[in-house]
Structure 1
Amino acid sequence: MRLLGGERLDGKRFLDIGSGSGFHSLAALRLGAREVVAVDIDADSVATTHAVLSRFFPQGPWRCQEKSVFELKLEEWGDFDVVYSWGVLHHTGDLDRALECAARMVLSGGLFLCAIYRRVWLDPFWRWEKRWYSKASPTAQVWARKIYVGLFWLRLLVTGRRFSDYVGNYRDKRGMDFYHDVHDWMGGWPYESRGPEELLAKMQTLGFASVRVFAYRGRWLGRSLGVVGSGCDEFVFRRG
């Protein structure tokens, strides 16, 4: 609702690229979408999306399928009033092409909603870490997570926050366990990021105008240091 500016989706077709748990597809259905199509490259995520939608919105109209963003074809799927992809396209290995493939599924006048990892100064380190972590042994991964959690605890301490409070409220905020999210962040490979200006320029070349942007501006030349990682900036574009 925040990304949509408070508007509903009554009568609109909604494409969820990288559906994950299926909660975003469910939200679209509850906001009145006339059809929801959910795709994910991961078979477990597709099964989870199917289970969630079957349980909480059994009457449809929805469908989910195992599919990569690079495999989406306009002639097969048709175009959509809203294309949504939160925290996904930066893990495809080719962010620019992923944006192009997702954007072409938006009908004229439609919306493209996405969340992309923001640029941080430690991006080179995180690219190295994620590549290493994805191939590391389980034991090495455990020790890497312990170091990360220690740094995170120190960061909260310095900023006057309690680690126990942060972790205790984490599931309500993010929908997953804190320690699982650490594993998810550290192993998120491939990894790319973009600054807001870079993404806006890219989308302009694809015929989109910016509607709203939720971006964090760091203290160091407009960029966060990124000691414990990078969050996502969120964007809403309209196709001309």
Structure 2
Amino acid sequence: MAVDERRRSADERFAFGENWLRYLDVVDERRIADATASLTAALEAGDLAGRTFLDVGCGSGLFSLAAHRLGAKVHSFDYDPASVAACEELRRRFAPHGDWTIERGSILDDDHMRRLGRFDVVYSWGVLHHTGEMWRAVDAAARLVAPGGALYIAIYNDQGLPSRLWWKVKHRYVRSGPLARGALLLSGGTYFGARRLVGRLAGEGDGGSPRARVRRRGMSARHDLVDWIGGFPFEVATPEQVFGHLRGRGFQLTFLRTCKGRLGCNEYVFAAPGGD
């Protein structure tokens, strides 16, 4: 799985951007407000006025827009040209005159990353594990954080054998035609629906489910399903691995929200060394 995204062939990479372009059809003020609330909760900041915000792998641009609404100067980039187009369209609709730069770029392009400089907040939710070189991408993102700034990342939870099986599902999806992809999506939707039903019958509620986490962040369960089934490359890590990796580079954990050992992403906010 350690293959540079610039060299990975098109038939081994999920078309994230196409899915984000479709997601724009459901973006409204409620979803923007939900995304903004989740951002302020994790960063423990009521606003980002006077701060710079880098969105690594911006996707639809929803969280770039949230940061802009909170007063940040925003820079967004994504490897996928369709994601760049989605982000630009979202800016056109909701912040046409905002202090917000969008470009195409790869977190694995060392020269490009050096030219970007450093930012008060570096945000990358559910992106770095899709590059094909997750730990290298984590390190690259960490180097972009200004002294005392915040690194906000979300990484797929390592469930052991289930994660290995999901890797096979995703790999099959990106190498299949439309009919096989449709069958995988149908199977995936049925699987997750059954999990939610069992959870409700067991009295577990829905608060920790992938569907609830999607809703809390202003996302769309339908588009997230496509992203989940097809999202390849795909790597995972335990909370201990992420914590240990970044602590060894001087970062301090300030926020953690896990998926409680289940399927999904664990969220982390780290404070960069060098602050007052």
Structure-2 residue corresponding to 1:6: 45
In the TM superposition, 1:128-167 aligns within 5 A as 128-160=168-200
The offset of 1:169, in angstroms, is: 9.1
Report Cα offsets for 1:163-216 as digits up to 9, x if no partner.
xx99x9998556555343322211111101111110001111222111111113
C-alpha distance in 1, partners of 2:104/2:195?
39
2:141 aligned with 1:102, yes or no? yes
2:249 aligned with 1:206, yes or no? yes
C-alpha distance in 1, partners of 2:217/2:91?
19
**Shift in alpha-carbon separation, 1:236–1:124, aligned structure 2, 3 A:** same
**Shift in alpha-carbon separation, 1:177–1:107, aligned structure 2, 3 A:** closer
Higher helix share: 2
The offset of 1:152, in angstroms, is: 2.2
Q: Residue 131 of structure 1 aligns to a residue in which SS?
A: helix
Structure-1 residue corresponding to 2:230: 187
- Higher alpha-carbon deviation: 114-123 or 73-82: 73-82
2:141 aligned with 1:125, yes or no? no
C-alpha distance in 2, partners of 1:26/1:179?
21
Structure-2 residue corresponding to 1:227: none
Contact 1:170–1:178 (CA under 8 A) maintained in structure 2: no
Contact 2:76–2:102 (CA under 8 A) maintained in structure 1: yes
C-alpha distance in 1, partners of 2:51/2:239?
28
Cα RMSD (Å): 2.3
Q: Residue 152 of structure 2 aligns to a residue in which SS?
A: strand
C-alpha distance in 1, partners of 2:159/2:193?
20
| Equivalent of residue 234 in structure 1, options 253, 257, 267 | 267
Q: Residue 43 of structure 2 aligns to a residue in which SS?
A: coil
Amino acid paired to 1:206: R
How high is the TM-score relative to the length of structure 2? 0.75
Contact 2:132–2:233 (CA under 8 A) maintained in structure 1: yes
In the TM superposition, 1:65-104 aligns within 5 A as 65-71=103-109, 73=112, 75-104=114-143
C-alpha distance in 1, partners of 2:117/2:215?
36
Report Cα offsets for 1:131-180 as digits up to 9, x if no partner.
1111012111222222222222322222236xxx99x9998556555343
**Shift in alpha-carbon separation, 1:70–1:239, aligned structure 2, 3 A:** same
Q: How many residues align?
A: 225
C-alpha distance in 2, partners of 1:55/1:189?
29
| Long gaps (5+) in structure 1 | 219-223, 225-229
Structure-1 residue corresponding to 2:32: none
